[in-house]
Structure 1
């Protein structure tokens, strides 16, 4: 296998980048192991500098360049983690960097990239417009372009993560795929040492370009749709990463936004880690039986590739998952607009150890009879059993209760 010859380059990359990056923890998860009937480990790359694996490739690329090349400065196009990785690595090494970000980039990622010392230019709405702008700048400045995945030095830099996995002797490693740089590097590092390790890639249903390309046997572009996993929305993978994946990756599976959101929620609640959508995709595949796990003794590593989630999105996901799991419920009742009725309802909430979040009265909607009021009550409950008890109490008092989904 020709790409396994790159293993020595990953060893070299490890020596280069080690002084500048963290060796992130690999934690055994009893919670997710019980859920899957196997041994699940989390490779927490969200604890990496800048919050994702991208600094590995950025540092290796920059350190592989000659002093005269670095003196020209570098340029990158990215809406997120690659931008931050290149900005941080460049600042650390004293290299001037320019990052082109779309005008629609989240303000948190824009501010983070700028805080790492980069000259950030907001341009266009889509990444291809950013590439055009980067080419224009390179023609006048001579800056060197750092591609997020179509570069051997970037790929072998990401492959240093794979070397760190060898300490747990994994049977299966599950990796999110956007452009394919991370899984390419990991696959080379692991397959060179043990060809029996299964490498499984994960994409979102909103952007299955590498999955479709692998199934078709040729590189195919697929226009992405919206996803909470914005870090792995890639229209066209590179020929380089496609070839490596074709040679070394055993399978690619798909997960949707509901599955990813649930994994973000579970990682926050059970593992106490904050993870972005792309970073949670690998665990989503494991928890939703997208991957065949041979036995209870199998060691399965989920690559948690990054933690740079937008705070408003994170809050939205947590709130939604609380509703889905029925730990927060919203009810609707229509009762006579007289003293005592609201107190009856609230007393029943208290009986099931509920915690009131919000109360809204509506007396004017068309479905509310004269002299009545419609009340919406949102409250937390400890379990589904408590909800059943609440409904029974309401029925016993003759108050019809409907849940608002």
Structure 2
């Protein structure tokens, strides 16, 4: 079978990329290994200049242009990483770049793209709308279209990731690769199958956008919803990428949003590295199905680190709640002086750190002479939270746990 991208294409891309993009490290991750039961290795593509793997494919594509095409300029469509990668390397090569982004793209991403010298056009409500506008600009202004994933040069560039991983960690027997349109997954599969035919390459999609899964299984699951992994929130898999994935990829699996959140948190707290939601998809798959990979040498790719700091803070707090290191208690108490002091003193003696207090008197479900007190505390772990609750009851407190999953 002749595929649109060959191992020779990946090898040529590697020669071109040498010295122009960072050869990011692939390192063992003992803490993640202890948590998952696999022998985990992580490749840190978030260390690239634009904090994403997208630089590889963008540079290979831009370098393939003729002198006339370079003089005319390029156009790309993206809401994030591809935009910055094209803008950055186009500036390096002296190529005029136009990037079309949806109107509601966060200004921080717009500013980052403009900072590399690109002209940014805001158009439409979605990436699909932006794509239509980019296509129009390409025709009207005779610009070269730089597709984010469905392009042979882009795919070959992304394949360099797998080649580097296998050279740095030859013991790998599986790779878990984030997939949206499929550029990285298909390129990595081409390289991996050539270098290590027995290596299992698995694509990982968010369950909210199962575009490649649909293509492989002839299904029509909906692709919609707010996802933390917006970098792989693609409604339609590529034509070239679908062909390669069908031929070379072992499996495509789906992961849910809570597991992606947990993976982002683990990269930050255990590996001390910042991953966007899409970049944590591989770890999410490992967390979701640990028995499949137990004892095996598994490679993960932090494909990007462009994530809103406010989202990171929210994820960390939510994970503390899931682990019951932050818990809430609801006290029913008499509305009289000293009651709040008794509760706070007891919680302090039990080693619980008070984070928030909400005192409520004016609810019909509260006794006329009473009050309701919601107290959020920090504990050491789930066992400590359980012990605090038991001791509150033992000390005569009228208290219940507030379940963060239900709000009551």
Instruction: Sort the TM-score into its range (normalised by shorter chain).
Output: over 0.9
Is 1:38 the counterpart of 2:38? The answer is yes
Give, in angstroms, the shift of residue 346 of structure 1.
1.1
- Change in Cα spacing, 1:221 to 1:70, as seen in structure 2 (3 Å) is farther
8 Å contact kept, 2:36–2:290? no
Q: Deviations for 1:301-330, whole angstroms, at most 9, x for unmatched residues?
A: 012211111222222211111111111112
1:378 is paired with a residue of what secondary structure?
A: strand
Distance verdict in 2 for CA 1:165–1:4, change over 3 Å: farther
State the match for 1:3 in structure 2: 3
Q: How far did 1:20 drift?
A: 1.7
1:209 paired to 2:207: no
Q: Would you say the 8 A contact 2:352–2:388 is kept in 1? A: no
Q: What CA distance in whole angstroms lies between the structure 2 residues aligned with 1:221 and 1:394?
A: 48
Q: Distance in 2 between matches of 1:112 and 1:20?
A: 20
Tell me, in whole angstroms, the C-alpha distance in 2 between the residues paired with 1:84 and 1:345: 53
Instruction: Report matched runs for 1:247-326 at 5 Å.
Output: 247-289=247-289, 292-293=292-293, 296=295, 298-326=296-324
SS in 2 for 1:195: coil
Paired position in structure 1 for 2:358: 360
Cross-structure match for 1:78? 78
User: Structure 2 CA distance, aligned partners of 1:372 and 1:114?
Assistant: 59
Q: Does 1:94 align with 2:94?
A: yes
Q: Paired residue for 1:180?
A: 182
- 1:386 is the counterpart of 2:388: no
For structure 1, list consecutive stretches of 5 or more residues without a partner in the other structure: none
* Contact 1:108/1:310 (8 A) holds in 2: no
- The question of whether the paired residues in 1 share the 8 Å contact of 2:320 and 2:326 is answered with yes
Aligned to 2:398: 400
1-side partners of 2:123 and 2:5: how far apart? 39
C-alpha separation between the residues in 2 aligned to 1:135 and 1:289?
40
**Offset, 1:222:** 4.7
**Residues in 1 aligned to 2:45 and 2:291: alpha-carbon distance in whole angstroms:** 21
- 1:340 maps to what in 2? 338
Q: CA offset at residue 234 of structure 1?
A: 0.9
Task: Please report how far the alpha carbon of residue 5 of structure 1 lies from its aligned counterpart in structure 2 after TM superposition.
Answer: 6.4
Structure 1 SS opposite 2:58: helix
Distance 1:5 1:21 in 2: 21
TM-score (norm 2): 0.94
Contact persistence 2:5–2:152 (CA under 8 A): no
Deviations 1:47-71 (A, max 9, x none): 1221110010001100111122111
Distance 1:70 1:290, change over 3 A: farther
Query: TM-score scaled to structure 1, two decimals?
Result: 0.95
Name the counterpart of 2:52: 52
Range with greater deviation from structure 2 (2-11 or 385-394): 2-11
**What SS does structure 2 have at the residue aligned with 1:121?**
strand
1:102-121 paired onto structure 2 within 5 Å: 102-121=102-121
SS of 2:103's partner is coil
CA distance in 1, matches of 2:107, 2:353: 34
Using the TM superposition, give the Cα deviation of residue 117 of structure 1 relative to its aligned residue in structure 2, in angstroms. 1.8
In structure 2, what is the Cα distance between the partners aligned to 1:31 and 1:348?
A: 36
2 CA distance for matches of 1:22 and 1:150?
Answer: 23
- Tell me the distance in 1 between the aligned counterparts of 2:237 and 2:382: 44
